[in-house]
Structure 1
């Protein structure tokens, strides 16, 4: 999400703890960067939220710095 837009992953993934979720999130961002390459553009202001099944925010990963 970037404040006004969001891309949801309704399936998500199941992990045993928050650290595993962070690792999986970083891997997903890395894969996205490899797939999109130069098409990524400017992701400043975008972030990936890690939430529990109930929707509670557990961690936010800023994408602007991660993808560049």
Structure 2
């Protein structure tokens, strides 16, 4: 299944135009957690305010499969 990982905050959306192929929903969740970790490692993580942001995982039709609040995933 092809999944897209969009960053969403209120009326702002940063869309993943490429996406990746995953075997199932569990693999998509693993990749979402990995993507959040990579976001935190880029630059100065302490300078980024993730409150209110979510990582939405959507399928090829655009249906949101699940979302993870980025502020809840902070270390």
Answer yes or no: is 1:46 the counterpart of 2:70: no
User: Secondary structure of the equivalent of 1:11?
Assistant: coil
Superposition deviation, residue 64 in structure 1? 1.0
Looking at both structures, which has the greater relative contact order when contacts are Cα pairs under 8 Å and sequence separation is at least 6? 2
Aligned pairs, how many? 67
Match of 2:9 in 1: 2
Structure 2 CA distance, aligned partners of 1:10 and 1:67? 25
Who is 2:5 aligned against? none
Extract unaligned runs of 5+ from structure 2: 1-7
Aligned-residue RMSD, C-alpha = 1.1
Q: Which has the higher strand share?
A: 2
Structure 1 or 2: more helix by fraction? 1
TM-score w.r.t. the length of structure 2 is 0.81
Q: State how far apart, in whole Å, the 2-side matches of 1:26 and 1:17 are.
A: 15
8 Å CA contact 1:29–1:67 kept in 2: the answer is no
